[in-house]
Structure 1
Amino acid sequence: MELTGKIIQALEEQSGNGRNGTWRKRDYILETPGQYPKKVCLTVWGDKIDQFNIQPGQDITASIEVESREYNGRWYTDVKIWRVNNVDNGTGGGGAASGNQKQDQPDVSTFSDDSEGDILPF
């Protein structure tokens, strides 16, 4: 799935230790365009935080994965970003926010929780 919109807020990075070692994540608030804009909290995990370098005010298209999990009888949902592309607003910009790639060569890096060889976002 993909979401397109403007990053209106970047929340503080969070980190900790889990059963798979040290983890870090950062949440971003994306506002969708249109007559009835929606705000969506998107999460970036691990080294993708530095790779994507998402900034407030930036227009992006985010490839996402939606996942829910249960903890102590309550359900929690994450919207994880596994690829980001800048939206070209006619300013000559564009390309991938995750690297120095040309606009006609999209970023194919993927999100991976705990394995290096995965090419799928889940």
Structure 2
Amino acid sequence: MVREAAAPMVDLNTTPLIDVMLVLLIIFMIAAPLMSHKLPLPNQAPGPDPATIPARHEITVEAIGNQVRLTLDGELMSESMLASRLQIAGRMPAKEQAEFRISAAEDVRFETVASLMAMGKRAGVARVGLD
């Protein structure tokens, strides 16, 4: 009585895989109706009227030797004149203030641009940026 060696079983047992898939199917069937509920969002007011959008002023900074040349919208001015213009703009409510954009040449020192930005903030200008 010689017994033959049984061949190893090579089939994949798919029963646990089917069980997991059925559990996931039930979970998604329960969760899907819950995800379709929408949250009521408040209607946003339309944007501001283009006529009421504040103006934009361009501050240009150029270095000529050791001196700095400042222009506001193409008008040459000293640092004190620019400071007074910024103070006038800073007295207005923040929503009505114009935006001041600083455009500096490559050879202008960083400290100069930083001092102009600080000057605008000290004057109360809400929006001072760089170009």
TM bracket (short chain)? under 0.3
Q: Which is greater in Rg?
A: 2
Q: Which has the higher strand share?
A: 1
The TM-score normalised by the length of structure 2 is 0.20
The TM-score normalised by the length of structure 1 is 0.21
Q: Which has the higher helix share?
A: 2
